[in-house]
Amino acid sequence: MRSLRRRTRQARLPAVLLSISVVAMSACSNSTATPDAAQTTGSNAGGNVLRVVVPAEPATFNPVLTLYSTLRIVGPVFDPLVGFDKESLEPNDSGLLTSWERVSPTEWRFKVRQGVKFHNGEAWDANAAAFTIEKYRDEPKSGFAPYYKRVEEVKAESADSLLITTKVPYIAMPKVLTTAMGVPPKYYAEVTGDRFGSAPVGTGPFQFDSLASGQSFSVKAYPGYWRGAPKLGGIRYSWAADASTRAALLQSGGADLVADLPNETIPQIENGAGTSVLSAPSLYKMALSMNANAGTLKDHDLRKAVQAAIDYDSIVKTLFGGVGARKSPYFIGDLLPQQPAVTYQKFDPARAKELVRAAGGTPKIRFLYTTGFYPKDKQVGEAVSAMLQDAGFQVEQVPLENAALRTERNTGNYSMYMVQNFPVFAHPDSFIAFFTGNNAAVKYCNDPDGYDALTEKALSATDQGASDEVYDQVEKKILDEDACNAILYDQVVSYGMTDKVKGLKPALDAVPSMYEVTLG
């Protein structure tokens, strides 16, 4: 994977995208947002506290109860049970469990790292590992429970040996454990899950320092870290929802590092005095989820028409300037060791119009999309709507706040909705379990029995190659045979930083490690 640090010349644009792009850029340039004092005057004691500004404050800082993306903030407090390479996402021995073997189709034995302590002095051992996994499985509010429900039993065989028994053969078990952050049993049981998020304790390179609700979350270096103390004295995270405000904070000296830069600000920051940009591909996918079970898009040919109507290249080049997103033809294909050579969605406006004409009339699509939650989501939703109208669809646009979209989506009252997907662990089951089968969070694909059968076959395989062959079938099924998804693009995550920030490396999971970062 390579870092992207160059600007891309804007191509000649379709009229519909050109108009949307101009409006978006105008709105950005006319912004009058002013950073508040809490955001601009954060602690930087001793000049070794990194000031980071991110888009939003998490609902909780308990990693068991929240989404993976919250680890961008609370991650430095914790270590994952199974570590992984930040560029390939492949598991390695850098976590709290150092090695593993599959001792039977339903049993995995893990070696537990020794000599590690939590920030409050509790020992890390096999009992703590078992407790952590059980919390991820059993906590009522666990965000990862669907993946851990396959765990039947977790047993500490000794201080350094852990045995996990699954309900069914589960080849993905080591990768699932990359999502679990080690939590201290005594303290967690004492304060319970919600209160743990107010003062989290882990084994990571930084320990919790302070939380000012609505303003900041601060951590400080943990001198007893098992890999050695980090190079920073601390990190202070604050939040600014408006992307232009984050860029302004960096340029004014109110921040050292800001996340999710809008592509319009990248040239200015790249060419600014003392600032630079680090951009890298991620696995955050913006996708259209089409309702194959009811309404207009129950018609397979009309779902194929949606796929063919979208000019994927122009969305990337126009709305994201060629640097904020990259074209992606895969649902799970880029999670496989060898990506499928054949793709199942291609911009073909003539075919889209023909499929719509063949269906008769003017098919109506009720299209839900977020506004102000993902980068450029409102503009992308408007562009997709215009493309579908060009193909002959009648589009009812329903722009919503994220929470409202999820509520409306859960009623089933939609033809399709736009959402950003991310694999919480680097295995196809991360997407498949959540989106396709009988246990899917939102049932928009048809044939859940078929997806469950393929998933069971893939996860039961004792050979990784045999498992990957099944997932090739799943990719074809979801994008071609069932056509219940259209993948718009993968987000390219851009960080703006001052030249004092050294050692920050791109991360395919968009959660860069802070352990080696320095502030000169």
pLDDT tens, position by position, for the chain (520 residues)? Answer: 333 333 332 333 343 443 333 333 333 333 333 333 333 333 334 469 999 999 888 889 999 998 776 888 999 999 999 999 887 788 999 999 999 999 998 999 999 999 999 999 999 999 999 999 999 999 988 888 878 989 999 999 999 999 999 998 899 999 999 999 999 999 999 999 889 999 999 999 999 999 998 899 999 999 999 999 999 999 999 999 888 899 999 999 999 999 988 888 888 898 888 999 998 888 889 999 999 999 999 999 999 999 999 999 999 999 998 888 999 889 988 888 788 777 888 999 999 999 999 999 999 999 999 998 888 899 999 999 999 999 999 999 999 998 899 899 989 999 999 998 888 788 888 888 778 888 787 889 999 999 999 988 998 888 888 988 999 999 999 999 999 999 999 999 889 999 999 999 888 888 889 999 999 8
Q: Does residue 356 contact residue 393 with C-beta atoms inside 8 Å? A: yes
* 3-class SS of residue 72: helix
pLDDT for the residue numbered 61: 94
Planar angle of CA 371, 373, 374, nearest 5 degrees: 100
Count of Cβ atoms closer than 10 Å to residue 114 Cβ: 12
Query: Which residue in 31, 133, 22 sits closest to 81, CA to CA?
Result: 133
pLDDT at 432: 84
List, in order, residues 6 or more apart from 225 with CB less than 8 Å away: 203, 204, 205
| Phi, psi for residue 464 in degrees, rounded to 5 | -65, -35
Residue appearing with tokens 């851009």: 494
What are the φ and ψ backbone dihedral angles of 234, each rounded to 5 degrees? Answer: 175, 175
Nearest-angstrom CA–CA distance, 272 and 498: 10
Q: Which bin fits 268, alpha (ψ -120 to 50), beta or left (φ > 0)?
A: alpha
pLDDT of residue 218: 98
Q: Which part of the chain is CATH 3.90.76.10?
A: 68-196
SS3 of residue 363 by DSSP = coil
N-terminal to C-terminal alpha carbon distance within the chain: 27
The span from the CA of 337 to the CA of 90, in Å, is 10
Q: How many CB atoms lie within 10 A of CB 377?
A: 20
Options 3.40.50.300, 3.90.76.10, 2.60.120.560, 3.20.20.70; CATH of 68-196: 3.90.76.10
pTM score over 0.85: no
pLDDT confidence of residue 31:
34
Q: Which CATH architecture has domain 282-492?
A: Roll (3.10)
Q: Where in the chain is the domain with CATH 3.10.105.10?
A: 282-492
pLDDT of residue 388: 98
Contact 415, 290 (CB under 8 A): yes
Residue 47 has a pLDDT of 62
